[in-house]
């Protein structure tokens, strides 16, 4: 199994995060060729216009704008708080959710529509039962 | 199609009953509703039972095992926080379809304490706190902040909603809490997910509520004095919106269901005398003033600032105390708010009575997403 022989290679935290053999990680979207709706994760049918087998695979942008957020002070046990949970609209389409980092978790410092950039890094040290490391994405002010 | 009437409806005082079983809690409300209608379990032709926590465990039949196994058809339903409203609506539809004249709808839930939300642990590693938060206080905080972005809504305005609902609950003996929470207390309470503090989150409680629905023929037979007419029963799922799959959209499906409900009833928002809506978080209630058409888009902040949604205001909202203070036993909530509206339409709401109430509305949202809306009318 390649997982065992290449232990240093992290796994993607979600299936729409792609880690090429060469080059930088990126997020993958599925775009409906009929109506332009963009989805995360593989699918064949568009839930907006109902077209079948019209999906094309696209690379999502690493840049976007902050649509909305919340500052989380109470989470499930063992999760470090506070942190900023953010909804980001990507340039060229697609919306994703993630942690906004490298900013004070202060509502006065976080501005709606502020430009943000995706950054990729280790999934806060979290490992699965087999001890595999994961690569995640985060947002930071651009 | 026959009109449908509620002739019996009740709820237990919400609380925490860890020593009791789910069917036992549900049975209590079922018996109370039967007594309210002056009917026996033998009179029921079918039962629709809403419960989430034991959705695969035949809660409806187990309730009948406690109060009367007549052999009637029982359907168990689960639809997130719209579960109770869904059970009520299925009962309504069965009478509309002409299948039955007398149907029992029950909603029941036994909740643990603590945070609700998707942990997202299906495979790999936990995503909570890594890809944002799936906790309910956060999800609804994000929805509220979207409103803040568009309309400049403030933390203080959101907090005022909680002050109002807690105040209302001091007049409701069936609410979990009857405690005044001044604005400072609400704003300075433990922050859970900004802008929702602990006092701006609904209370996890155990509870049950039940209703007896009948055809017009049966209502006339029983006497119409306390009968409440179901003018509309609407349900919608989330239509596609651009961010919906990442950021659950409670607005679009509420607007769809509201439009349908107003059309069915042949009334408009200006005709509604009181509303019980889904204040699972203070941020959520703000959105629904606009979604239900109680004010123009962008005016929700004014609705709370100017007191229009308080008892005594233009359209009192959540005079029961709402989910924020009455409590939110998921499967029971949708019938408990029907109980509240019926109680006002019957003129039996005591200190919190909305004077002269003729038409009331209930609204629930189950994330995922299901919206159930009912419009009820005093029998004149």
Tell me: the pLDDT tens digits for B257-266?
999 999 999 9
Q: Is A127 on the interface with B (CB under 8 A)?
A: yes
**Would you call B129 and A13 a contact, using CB atoms and an 8 Å cutoff?**
no
Q: Is B149 on the interface with A (CB under 8 A)?
A: yes
Q: Residue B120: its pLDDT value, please?
A: 53
| B380 vs B326, residue with greater confidence | B326
What residues of B are in contact with residue A109 (Cβ under 8 Å)?
none
User: In sequence order, what DSSP letters do the residues of A50-116 get, joined into one string?
Assistant: --BS-EEEEEPPSEEEEEEEEEES--STT----EEEEEEEETTS-EEEEEE-SS-S-TTT--TT-EE
Among A residues 6-45, those touching chain B with beta carbons less than 8 Å apart: 11, 13-14, 37, 39-40
Among candidate residues B167, B278, B328, B363, the one labeled active-site is B328
Q: Indicate if B81 belongs to the active site.
A: yes
- The tokens for B284 are 């959520």
Picking from B145, B153, B187 by the largest number of A CB atoms within 10 A of its own CB, the best residue to mutate is: B145
Q: Is A74 on the interface with B (CB under 8 A)?
A: yes
Q: Residue A1: its pLDDT value, please?
A: 40
Q: Chain A closest CA to B220's CA: distance in Å?
A: 46
- The tokens for B24 are 């036992």
Q: Chain B closest CA to A74's CA: distance in Å?
A: 5
Rounded to 5°, angle at Cα B188 from B183 and B191: 120
Q: Say if residue A34's pLDDT is above 80.
A: yes
Q: Residue B106: its pLDDT value, please?
A: 98
What residues of A are in contact with residue B190 (Cβ under 8 Å)?
73-74
Rounded to 5°, angle at Cα B350 from B345 and B356: 40
Percent of chain A with pLDDT over 90: 91
Q: Is B142 on the interface with A (CB under 8 A)?
A: yes
For residue B147, what is the nearest residue in chain A, using CA coordinates? A68
Distance CA B31, CA B41 (A): 8
Q: Residue B132: its pLDDT value, please?
A: 97
How does pLDDT run across A81-137, given as a tens digit for each residue?
999 999 999 999 999 999 999 999 999 999 999 999 999 999 999 999 999 999 999
**Mean pLDDT score, B236-248:** 94
What residues of A are in contact with residue B155 (Cβ under 8 Å)?
107
Question: Given phi > 0 = left and psi -120 to 50 = alpha, else beta, which region is B129?
Answer: left
Could you give the number of structural domains in chain A?
1
Q: Residue ranges of the domains in chain B? A: 4-113+203-378
3-state secondary structure labels for all residues of chain B: CCCEEEEEEEECCCECCCCCCHHHHHHHHHHHHHHHHCCCHHHCCEEEEECCCCCCCCHHHHHHHHHCCCCCCEEEECECECHHHHHHHHHHHHHHCCCCCEEEEEEEECCCCCCCECCCCCCCCCCCCCCCCCEHHHHHHHHHHHHHHHHCCCHHHHHHHHHHHHHHHCCCCCCCCCCCCCHHHHHHCCEEEECEEHHHECCCCEEEEEEEEEEHHHHHHHCCCCCEEEEEEEEEECCCCCCCCCCCCHHHHHHHHHHHHHHHHCCCHHHCCEEECCCCEHHHHHHHHHHCCCCCCCCHHHHHHCCCCCCCCCCCECCCCHHHHCCCCHHHHHHHHHHHHHHHHCCCCHHHCCCCCCEEEEEEEECCCEEEEEEEEECC
For residue A106, what is the nearest residue in chain B, using CA coordinates? B194
Q: Say if residue B335's pLDDT is above 60.
A: yes
**Would you call B149 and A112 a contact, using CB atoms and an 8 Å cutoff?**
yes
Q: Please provide the average confidence, as pLDDT, over all residues in chain B.
A: 96
Q: Which fold has domain B4-113+203-378?
A: Peroxisomal Thiolase; Chain A, domain 1 (3.40.47)
How does pLDDT run across A41-86, given as a tens digit for each residue?
999 999 999 999 999 999 999 999 999 999 999 999 889 999 999 9
**Would you call B192 and A136 a contact, using CB atoms and an 8 Å cutoff?**
no
Q: Residue A13: its pLDDT value, please?
A: 96
Q: Say if residue B19's pLDDT is above 60.
A: yes
For A2, the 3-state DSSP assignment is helix
Q: Say if residue A6's pLDDT is above 70.
A: no
**Residue B194's beta-bridge partner residues?**
A71
In the β-sheet with B46-50, what is the strand arrangement from edge to edge?
B74-77, B46-50, B102-109, B207-215, B4-11, B228-237, B370-378, B359-366, B274-276
What residues of B are in contact with residue A76 (Cβ under 8 Å)?
115, 117, 119, 126, 128-129, 135
CA B341 to chain centre: 11
Q: Up-side HSE of residue B67: CA atoms within 13 Å toward CB? A: 27
Q: Say if residue A4's pLDDT is above 60.
A: no
Q: Say if residue B115's pLDDT is above 90.
A: no
How does pLDDT run across B123-170, given as a tens digit for each residue?
789 999 999 999 999 999 999 999 999 999 999 999 999 999 999 999
Q: Is B242 on the interface with A (CB under 8 A)?
A: yes
Q: Residue B200: its pLDDT value, please?
A: 98
Q: Indicate if B371 belongs to the active site.
A: no
**Would you call A87 and B191 a contact, using CB atoms and an 8 Å cutoff?**
no
Q: Residue B1: its pLDDT value, please?
A: 86
Q: Is B152 on the interface with A (CB under 8 A)?
A: no
Q: Is A136 on the interface with B (CB under 8 A)?
A: yes
Q: Is B97 on the interface with A (CB under 8 A)?
A: no
Q: Say if residue B171's pLDDT is above 50.
A: yes
How does pLDDT run across B55-97, given as a tens digit for each residue?
999 999 999 999 999 999 999 999 999 999 999 999 999 999 9
Q: Is A128 on the interface with B (CB under 8 A)?
A: yes
Distance CA B17, CA B193 (A): 28
- Domain with A34 in it: 2-141
For A120, the 3-state DSSP assignment is strand
| Closest residue to A99, CB basis, from B115, B132, B196 | B132
| B275 vs B380, residue with greater confidence | B275
Containing H/E element for A138?
strand A133-141
Beta-sheet pairing, A11-12 with A133-141? parallel
- The interface predicted TM-score of the complex, written ipTM, equals 0.94
**Would you call A85 and B242 a contact, using CB atoms and an 8 Å cutoff?**
no
**Would you call B129 and A75 a contact, using CB atoms and an 8 Å cutoff?**
yes
Among candidate residues B49, B81, B201, B295, the one labeled active-site is B81
**Mean pLDDT score, B331-359:** 98
Give the residue among B202, B190, B232, B187 at the shortest CA–CA distance from B93.
B232
**Would you call A127 and B137 a contact, using CB atoms and an 8 Å cutoff?**
no
User: Token pair 């602990």 is at which residue?
Assistant: B198
| Closest residue to A96, CB basis, from B119, B192, B246 | B246
Q: Is A118 on the interface with B (CB under 8 A)?
A: no
Distance CA B295, CA B308 (A): 10
| B119-128, B275-284, B313-322: least confidently modelled range | B119-128
**Would you call B129 and A76 a contact, using CB atoms and an 8 Å cutoff?**
yes
Q: Are B199 and B177 in contact (CB under 8 A)?
A: no
A4-41 burial, b at 16+ Cβ within 10 Å, e below that, comes to: eeeeeebbbbbebbeeeeeeebbbbbbbbeeeebbbbe
CA B211 to chain centre: 14
Q: Chain B closest CA to A23's CA: distance in Å?
A: 23
């Amino acid at each position: 199994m390649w997982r065992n022989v290449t232990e240093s290679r992290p796994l993607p935290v979600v299936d729409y995060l792609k880690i090429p053999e060469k080059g930088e990680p990126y997020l993958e979207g599925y775009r409906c060729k009929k109506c332009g709706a963009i989805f995360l994760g593989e699918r064949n049918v568009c839930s907006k216009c109902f077209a079948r087998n019209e999906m094309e695979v696209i690379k999502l942008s690493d840049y976007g704008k902050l649509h909305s957020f919340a500052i989380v002070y109470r989470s499930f046990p063992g999760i470090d708080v506070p942190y900023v949970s953010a909804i980001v609209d990507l340039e060229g389409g697609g919306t994703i959710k993630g942690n906004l980092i490298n900013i004070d978790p202060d509502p006065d410092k976080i501005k709606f529509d502020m430009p943000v950039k995706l950054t990729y890094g280790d999934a806060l040290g979290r490992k699965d039962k087999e001890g595999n490391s994961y690569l995640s994405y985060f947002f930071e002010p651009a | 199609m026959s009109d449908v009437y509620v002739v019996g409806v009740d709820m237990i005082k919400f609380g925490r009953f860890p020593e009791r079983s789910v069917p036992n809690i549900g049975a209590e409300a079922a018996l109370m509703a039967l007594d309210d209608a002056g009917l026996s379990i033998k009179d029921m032709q079918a039962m629709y039972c809403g419960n989430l926590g034991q959705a695969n465990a035949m809660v409806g039949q187990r309730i009948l095992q406690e109060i009367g196994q007549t052999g009637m058809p029982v359907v168990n339903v689960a639809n997130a926080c719209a579960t109770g409203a869904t059970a009520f609506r299925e009962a309504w539809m069965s009478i509309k379809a002409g299948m039955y004249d007398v149907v029992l709808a029950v909603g029941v839930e036994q909740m643990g304490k603590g945070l609700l939300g998707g942990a997202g642990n299906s495979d790999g590693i936990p995503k909570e706190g890594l890809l944002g938060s799936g906790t309910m206080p956060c999800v609804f905080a994000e929805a509220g902040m979207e409103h803040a972005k568009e309309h400049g809504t403030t933390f203080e305005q959101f907090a005022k909603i909680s002050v109002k609902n807690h105040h209302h609950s001091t007049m409701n003996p069936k609410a979990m809490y009857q405690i005044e929470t001044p604005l400072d207390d609400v704003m300075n309470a433990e922050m859970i997910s900004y802008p929702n503090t602990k006092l701006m989150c609904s209370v996890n409680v155990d509870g049950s509520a039940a209703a007896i629905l009948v055809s017009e023929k049966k209502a006339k037979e029983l006497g119409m004095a306390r009968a409440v007419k179901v003018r509309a029963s609407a349900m919608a799922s989330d239509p596609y919106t651009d961010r919906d799959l990442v950021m659950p959209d409670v607005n679009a499906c509420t607007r769809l269901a509201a439009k349908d409900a107003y059309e069915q009833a042949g009334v408009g928002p200006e005709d509604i005398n009181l509303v019980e809506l889904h204040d699972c978080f203070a941020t959520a209630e703000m959105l629904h003033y606009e979604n239900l058409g109680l004010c123009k888009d962008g005016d929700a902040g004014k609705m709370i600032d100017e007191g229009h949604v308080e008892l005594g205001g233009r359209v009192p909202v959540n005079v029961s105390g709402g989910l924020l203070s009455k409590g939110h036993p998921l499967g029971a909530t949708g019938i408990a708010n029907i109980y509240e509206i019926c109680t006002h339409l019957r003129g039996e709401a005591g200190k919190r009575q909305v004077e002269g109430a003729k038409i009331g509305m209930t609204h629930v949202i189950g994330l995922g997403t299901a919206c159930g809306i009912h419009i009820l009318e005093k029998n004149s």
